[in-house]
Structure 1
Amino acid sequence: METATGEWWEDLVDYFTEYNSSEENECCEGGDVCDLDEGMRFEAVFIPVLYSVAFVVGILGNGLLLGVLFQSRRNWSVTDTFILHLGVADILLLVTLPLWAAQSANVDGWTFGTPLCKITGTVFTINFYCGIFLLACISLDRYLSIVHATQMYTRRKPWVVHVSCLAVWFFSLLLSIPDWILLENMTDDRRKRAECVRDYFKFDEQYARTLKISSRGLYHAVGFLLPSVILIICYSRILWQLRCGTQGLQKQRAFKVIIAVVAVFFICWTPYNIALMVDTVNQNNISSDCGTATSLDKAVTVTSSLGYLHCSLNPILYAFVGVKFRRQLLSILHSMGCKLKTRMQFESVTRRSSVYSESADTSKSIAI
């Protein structure tokens, strides 16, 4: 009798042990507990690889861009000034990527402490917003110059463009204040490792969810929707103006560059914003299952990484396609002793021109 009772008790203990073990790794009815191992393994491989590529390509590309701008600093135009600040913002953002990659690859997660967590997260946010806003400033300047033949910035007052850039940096700094306050090096009990994340429960649990939704809403509105509207309106009007203008190779090049600028921006950032919106809605859905939550985590990870690649593509889109830039780059390489053979034939430019465009200050065309 005692043996039978003992076996029965052992079987019951084994049953509950197995049940509790599976409950810790699988999703229950309300979607509160999920298996996070798969998502962590995915991040540990995907993020370090993609961030490393973005870091290397972006640093090299933006470094060359800044080098060319420095060599031709006496002939800067308005566009060149914006591109200079854009290159600096992209480089500062890219510098933070190795730390985020280390967090994903390391079993212990974030091992750099709270101070560096706040600094890294704040620097990332500042330069993210700054890069987006500078793209909007460039498009607005071209729109006024080409469509309305109006110069927002004149050569007589070069300080105006610098003030505009400083205003962009200051506004981006204001938008990073929540990161400086909320970012903490916290231990995630479910993932069993430390992470540099926003602590929305830092002040009052009652308003934590509202604070998180408001923060994401601010990002969607200011960091994506507003710049998107500016880009679409400005570049669509520019394309229409070029369509009604003179025909020729110059117009075709302008069409290609403008379409590439708009297309790459939306290809890089639209998927991330959609994934983030769906994830926000899903978090408010108490009937959500673990499969959906895991898929959304992967989607946010992949799409955010795609967005960060935009920093690596900016030098190609805003400088490498420019005739003036290629000539300056070849001149620098030649002065360094590099023997280059090229079939490119450049026109002599007698007027002051932009590294990005040889007629950035004109009102009717963009000579790429």
Structure 2
Amino acid sequence: MDVELGGFLSQNSTYDYDDDYEYKEESERRGSEAVLIPLLYSAGLIVGLLGNALLLVVLTLKRRWWSAADTVILHLSVADILLLATLPLWATQAARPDGWCFGNALCKISGAVFHMNFYCGIFLLAGVSVDRCLSVVHSTQLHLLNKPLLVHVSCVCVWCISLLLTIPDWVFLIAETVASQEKTLCDYNYSGSGTNWQLLSRVCHLSLGFLLPATALAACCSRILLRLQQRSGRLLKQSAGVVIVPLAVVFLLCWMPYNITLIVDTFSYTSKEPHGAKTENSSLKRALMVTSGLGCVHACVRPLLYLGLCGNFRKQTLALLRCAPVEFRGSLWDLSVAEEVQPEQSHEQEKLKPMRSVECPLSADEHTQKSPAEI
């Protein structure tokens, strides 16, 4: 009886377990993204639409005049609603195994709206911070803020500048099938134009759209805080200039991770090595997806900030929910409702001061005239 010891002991072929492990890990990650991202975008869509719709109703219902702050709030709310309208498209791309199914036109529009929301938000907040800094620190105010039409024209100019900065989205965004992920994605494609256009668009976004207005925003807010620390008056601390500080801080906290990741991704193109380039690229793509979702969350947070900070908006919202007729002359951006009464009271006190100053000398003259007679 012959026994062959060759069999499986003589086989030299090996099995690569790493590829199978990476495949299972990649499939599990895609499955978790297909569930978590649509849930987060759906929750953000519901909360954001309800908050911004309530904000628009409060702004437009029974208001006789518009302040400059109300006009800025209106344009910011419109930008947030446009961004929220694109969230179902991104959620569908993450949930579907086939990926993007809405064509190239909606792909370009969705990407452009995403960046327009960022540009409009940071430019308008930077403009308001400059005005608040001038009024709080230097006790001056821009002349155009006294004319509502000029404020609307300025906001429209901000929209036009934001539209110009989104030209790379209209040109290079395309819905195409990615071979590595086996699905169609709405992503940038610079393969036909080279990396120079990609670097140019990144530099324009980071310098003109982020670093320059963010520096102005941070400088003005720091000046406002330093000035408010020097003046401890209660009326000054309740002024509308304080509202811009938490709004700017929350905006930068939501959008700064995306722009920092974009800076890292931009530098990776110039210093990319052949070894490990695929892993670095996939990790940065995942980081950009997460941080861009954080930027979309800001569209839901802004109405909640107005509700917590602005006393006029909070009181008018409660009156609207109770179906009670309420009208305000002040701006919704004011911290306290009492600010609307304080200027009128101070104006009446200034009118009473000359009357009292006139009455006091008369009483003194009468006393001096009566005293010799009595003597």
**Considering the TM-score relative to the shorter chain, is it more than 0.5?**
yes
Residue among 195, 219, 229 paired with 2:215:
229
Q: Do structure 1's residue 245 and structure 2's residue 231 form an aligned pair?
A: yes
Which structure shows the bigger proportion of residues in helix conformation? 2
After superposition, the Cα gap between the structure-2 partners of 1:236 and 1:115, relative to the gap in structure 1 and judged at 3 Å, is same
Further displaced range: 287-296 or 183-192: 287-296
Q: Structure 2-normalised TM-score?
A: 0.77
3-state DSSP class of the match of 1:74? coil
Whether contact under 8 Å (1:89, 1:127) holds in the other structure is yes
Match of 2:117 in 1: 127
Q: Do structure 1's residue 158 and structure 2's residue 148 form an aligned pair?
A: yes
Once the two structures are TM-superposed, the CA of residue 358 in structure 1 deviates from its matched residue by 6.1
Q: Do structure 1's residue 280 and structure 2's residue 257 form an aligned pair?
A: no
Q: Structure 1-normalised TM-score?
A: 0.78
Gap regions ≥5 residues in structure 1: 28-34, 338-345
Once the two structures are TM-superposed, the CA of residue 241 in structure 1 deviates from its matched residue by 1.9
Once the two structures are TM-superposed, the CA of residue 69 in structure 1 deviates from its matched residue by 0.4
After superposition, the Cα gap between the structure-2 partners of 1:187 and 1:144, relative to the gap in structure 1 and judged at 3 Å, is same
After superposition, the Cα gap between the structure-2 partners of 1:116 and 1:322, relative to the gap in structure 1 and judged at 3 Å, is same
Residue among 251, 256, 261 paired with 1:270:
256
Q: Write out aligned runs for 1:313-352 (5 A).
A: 313-318=301-306, 320-335=308-323, 352=329
Whether contact under 8 Å (1:39, 1:294) holds in the other structure is no
Residue among 283, 286, 290 paired with 1:298:
286
Whether contact under 8 Å (2:38, 2:95) holds in the other structure is yes
Whether contact under 8 Å (1:220, 1:273) holds in the other structure is yes
After superposition, the Cα gap between the structure-2 partners of 1:181 and 1:308, relative to the gap in structure 1 and judged at 3 Å, is same
Q: Write out aligned runs for 1:1-368 (5 A).
A: 37=27, 39-154=29-144, 157-201=147-191, 203-204=192-193, 207=194, 209-248=195-234, 251=237, 257-283=243-269, 284-286=271-273, 287-288=275-276, 292-318=280-306, 320-335=308-323, 352-357=329-334
Q: How many residues align?
A: 331
After superposition, the Cα gap between the structure-2 partners of 1:280 and 1:36, relative to the gap in structure 1 and judged at 3 Å, is farther
Q: Residue deviations 1:248-303, cap 9 Å, x none?
A: 38627879745522331232122222222223333442233655444433332222
3-state DSSP class of the match of 1:309? helix
Whether contact under 8 Å (2:125, 2:244) holds in the other structure is no
Q: Residue deviations 1:39-72, cap 9 Å, x none?
A: 5334323322222222111111111111110014
After superposition, the Cα gap between the structure-2 partners of 1:36 and 1:152, relative to the gap in structure 1 and judged at 3 Å, is farther
* Percent sequence identity over aligned pairs: 45
After superposition, the Cα gap between the structure-2 partners of 1:124 and 1:155, relative to the gap in structure 1 and judged at 3 Å, is closer
3-state DSSP class of the match of 2:64? helix
Distance in structure 2 (CA, Å) of the matches to 1:85 and 1:241: 29
Whether contact under 8 Å (2:309, 2:335) holds in the other structure is no
Further displaced range: 255-264 or 89-98: 255-264
Once the two structures are TM-superposed, the CA of residue 26 in structure 1 deviates from its matched residue by 6.0
Q: Residue deviations 1:168-194, cap 9 Å, x none?
A: 011111112221121211010111111
RMSD, aligned α-carbons: 3.5
Amino acid at match of 1:355: L
Distance in structure 1 (CA, Å) of the matches to 2:163 and 2:121: 12
